[in-house]
Structure 1
Amino acid sequence: MSATHDVLILGGGGAGCSAALHLALRGARVALFERGLVGSQASGVNYGGVRQNGRHPAELPIARRSREIWARLPELIGTDAEFEVTGHLKLARSAAEEAELADYMAVAREHDLPLELIGSNSIHARWPWLGPRVVAGAFAPEDGAANPRLLAPAFARAARAAGAEIKEHAPVSEIAHDGALFTLTIGDRTWRAPVALNCMGYWGGEIAARFGEAVPVAPLAPNMLVSEPIPYFIEPNMGVVGGDVYLRQIRRGNVIFGSGRGTSDPAVPWSRPLPEPTLTAMARAIELVPRLAGVQVIRSWTGIDGDMPDGLPVIGPSRTTPGLIHAFGFSGHGFMLGPGIGAILAELVLDGRTDVPLHPFRIDRFALGSAA
């Protein structure tokens, strides 16, 4: 049995499911394939930050585009995925880190990102529960957080309702290209399409390598924790210069935070948090918010994402295979970008272009070296 579609999407994370919906809404015949359940890897087990603050300048146009979609999730997918605009507070713990925050203000202005630089006296007056090591902060009022377990499944449901075929428990082991069509076979069924979107996270590197575009992607397993519920007092989503700890509290009272990396085996796939970074995360969280001392941690977890050497994802057309478009390797910060990435991929497929600059994310940038 065979079926012909316009687009095959490999990977059911936030980017893949968003692409399926945006394509289906414009009449494209779409089939999406996910090895497990949609949102079961990095897109569904991350920290949940919806953050523009502090992003690499190359990512900010995508983040700005995605933030607009986050604002209208209920009309697009039928849920807000518990998205709450709390603001994002990036903290400095030294004069050098404060200087980094000050330098980033120019980047924020260039991209019309509202951002407020807050000095030591003001920051402790505004958030008196911050620890004494905090010397400054940058506050982005448009940012916030959401529930990662809700986002990709909601996009998938909306895509299916719009006519997309969503195949779960459908691992992609073989995909071929004959110069005109991609062919993917699972069991006794075959799908064909002129376009394939590689949205497979860490495993996107394997797909790229099959088409002669090997990249140095590594598995990333962020170490995350959640506490027992306590009275709500931490409103902003928080991070630090250097990114070695991040922390937020949900309205139910639980504090979600993380630091360091767990361990994983992508071949299984299997991932676990580790005790050492878990203890480090607790200490760093208490340093930022001393009132957390003595609060009980009730769960720790991780997942598998693709980590790139420069921290930037691969996004854009293949350099070897017509019709193949990549979007993988988000290096632990792709959750917020997913809705926007899907819209951008749909534009690349149906319009042949997008207004969002993608040159910094091209797949051949590693081979180009210093000439990039």
Structure 2
Amino acid sequence: MPGPKLDPVESDPVLPQSVDVVVIGGGIAGSCAALELADRGLRVALCEKGQVGAEQSSRNWGWVRLSHRDPREMPLMVESVRLWQTINERVGADTGYRKCGITFTLATDADVADAEEAIAEQNKYQIPARLIPAAEALERFPGLSLDIKGAMYNPEDGRAEPQKAAPAVARALRERGGTVHQNCAVRVIETAGGRVSGVVTEKGTIRCSAVLLAGGAWSRLFLNNMGIYLPQLRTTSTVLRTSPIPDGPDGTVKYKDFTVRHRYDGGYTIAGSNTSRFEITPDSFRLFKAFLPTLKNEWRGLRMTVGRQTLEGLRTPRKWGPNDRTPFEETRILDPIPDKRRADRMLADVKGAWPTFADATVEQYWAGQIDVLPDVIPAISPTEGVKNGVPGLFVSTGFSGHGFGLGPGAGRLAADLVSGHTPIVDPTPFRLSRFTDGSKVRAMIGITTR
């Protein structure tokens, strides 16, 4: 089942013999990191097993939000928003980024109390989030009728188009002299003298002194082949887009049963947590202990099922060599089956609450697999210092549904670490070693994804 239609990116037909850095993964985090590195004068090759942006980087809700961020992510998100504000000029294309404000409706008194804490956290960074009464919240969306206590509103929150963003960044990378290689899976990393010396791809070898793994939901499998521990699981969520609605609302609104976001094409992206599911795999048992904090807090109410991922997990090899065909070549693009029944119910809820959408029709459904770490914040880190870690190998992964908005900031931080520059923010919360150094893993309660 095809996912969202992406803006095209041309591939370079020939692999370079050598570069300074190979970036594995052409999602928003990998593409942004590659562009940052190229802008610093480094030779960069971006290798993507499928198509640039084809997995979760194009399947998310398209939010660029400061609201409801884990406090550990806030400094990085502040920097990321600053980068989003100039991204169109930087890449010479329209990514769809706009400040539109996001209205988080609050259905209960407990929601109001949580929002007050979230607002206090944002205000520390001079972010003008505020609590507004129900009448003011609904005035922003004429015709919308909801039983709410109020809302948290942040005018600095925005949106961008997932199908445009990563491809635009990758094209800009090529304009800077970097190379992009799609349908080119990296099989293994080579070392010499105890550090990275190159990568072996399905199309040949590239010599390099550094590698950044930004492989999204595939990162655990890649690192496992090297004996490096990354406690990463996947959840699946369904999204739909509607036909264009003349004079429809421009702002973004989140209600407990649905979210509605205006699209570049005049339609709307509609999503919600009710369409999320978790398919049990062998890794579910291997990582059960690591994910206990997340299960207690973040995944309450998440539907757990047995399905296609269960079978794939059983037959996916966990070890391979440079001459073997890898799982990354067997599955070029993760394209889960969307839950149309729940998505249709969600659209019916929207129509019932909002006559503006009475004539809206579904133009496409899709689903995406979200990579999740136990504490629900990413790993942006060198691997050096962890068991079987390799000097010169870095990771940027595990964004746990928050990665699209964080993409430019995460790219900058990863590039800082790879190139030895002063990090844009303190990288300590994102270190890979936190899962093995005895640190207490905790997940923030009540994070809103995307």
Instruction: Give TM-score, length-normalised by structure 2.
Output: 0.76
SS at match of 1:55: coil
Match of residue 201 from structure 1? 216
Query: CA 1:105/1:288 → structure 2, altered by over 3 Å: closer, same or farther?
Result: farther
* Alignment of 1:353 onto 2:353: no
Deviation at 1:283, TM superposition (A): 4.5
Q: Which has the larger displacement, 107-116 or 352-361?
A: 352-361
Cα contact 1:3–1:192 (8 A) shared by 2? yes
* Alignment of 1:61 onto 2:126: no
CA deviations 1:260-304 (Å, max 9, x no partner) are 226764763331201343134224534664543463223211223
Query: CA 1:153/1:15 → structure 2, altered by over 3 Å: closer, same or farther?
Result: same
* Alignment of 1:255 onto 2:268: yes
Match of residue 366 from structure 2? 301
For residues 165 and 176 of structure 2, what CA distance do their matches in structure 1 show? 17
Query: CA 1:211/1:110 → structure 2, altered by over 3 Å: closer, same or farther?
Result: farther
* Alignment of 1:29 onto 2:43: yes
For residues 109 and 352 of structure 2, what CA distance do their matches in structure 1 show? 17
- 5+ residue gaps in structure 2? 1-14, 280-307, 313-326, 442-450
Query: CA 1:206/1:76 → structure 2, altered by over 3 Å: closer, same or farther?
Result: same
Match of residue 279 from structure 1? 344
Deviation at 1:222, TM superposition (A): 1.9
Query: CA 1:307/1:285 → structure 2, altered by over 3 Å: closer, same or farther?
Result: farther
CA deviations 1:153-209 (Å, max 9, x no partner) are 111111111111211110122223331323212346211222110100011112232
Query: CA 1:126/1:12 → structure 2, altered by over 3 Å: closer, same or farther?
Result: closer
Deviation at 1:221, TM superposition (A): 2.5
Cα contact 2:102–2:251 (8 A) shared by 1? yes
- 5+ residue gaps in structure 1? none
Deviation at 1:23, TM superposition (A): 0.7
Cα contact 1:232–1:250 (8 A) shared by 2? no
SS at match of 2:211: strand
For residues 188 and 134 of structure 1, what CA distance do their matches in structure 2 show? 56
SS at match of 2:68: coil
Match of residue 245 from structure 1? 258
Deviation at 1:249, TM superposition (A): 2.2
Match of residue 332 from structure 1? 401
For residues 54 and 24 of structure 2, what CA distance do their matches in structure 1 show? 14
Cα contact 2:186–2:202 (8 A) shared by 1? no
1:1-372 maps to which residues of 2 (within 5 A)?
3-178=17-192, 179-187=194-202, 189-240=204-255, 245-250=258-263, 252-259=265-272, 260-261=275-276, 265=309, 268=331, 269-286=334-351, 289=354, 291-293=356-358, 295-318=360-383, 319=386, 320-368=389-437, 371=440
CA deviations 1:75-116 (Å, max 9, x no partner) are 210023121211111111111111111111210111222212
Q: Which amino acid aligns with 2:404?
A: F
Deviation at 1:367, TM superposition (A): 3.1
Q: Which amino acid aligns with 1:227?
A: T
Q: Which amino acid aligns with 2:79?
A: R
Deviation at 1:258, TM superposition (A): 0.7
For residues 148 and 353 of structure 2, what CA distance do their matches in structure 1 show? 7
How large is the Cα RMSD of the aligned pairs? 2.3
Q: Which amino acid aligns with 2:335?
A: W
Deviation at 1:332, TM superposition (A): 1.7
SS at match of 2:97: coil
Cα contact 2:376–2:399 (8 A) shared by 1? yes
Cα contact 2:232–2:398 (8 A) shared by 1? yes
Task: Give percent identity, aligned residues only.
Answer: 31
Deviation at 1:370, TM superposition (A): 5.5
Deviation at 1:250, TM superposition (A): 3.0
SS at match of 1:53: coil
Q: Which amino acid aligns with 1:56?
A: D
Query: CA 1:133/1:38 → structure 2, altered by over 3 Å: closer, same or farther?
Result: same
Query: CA 1:363/1:206 → structure 2, altered by over 3 Å: closer, same or farther?
Result: same
Query: CA 1:81/1:153 → structure 2, altered by over 3 Å: closer, same or farther?
Result: same
Query: CA 1:280/1:367 → structure 2, altered by over 3 Å: closer, same or farther?
Result: farther
Query: CA 1:212/1:15 → structure 2, altered by over 3 Å: closer, same or farther?
Result: same
For residues 3 and 253 of structure 1, what CA distance do their matches in structure 2 show? 45
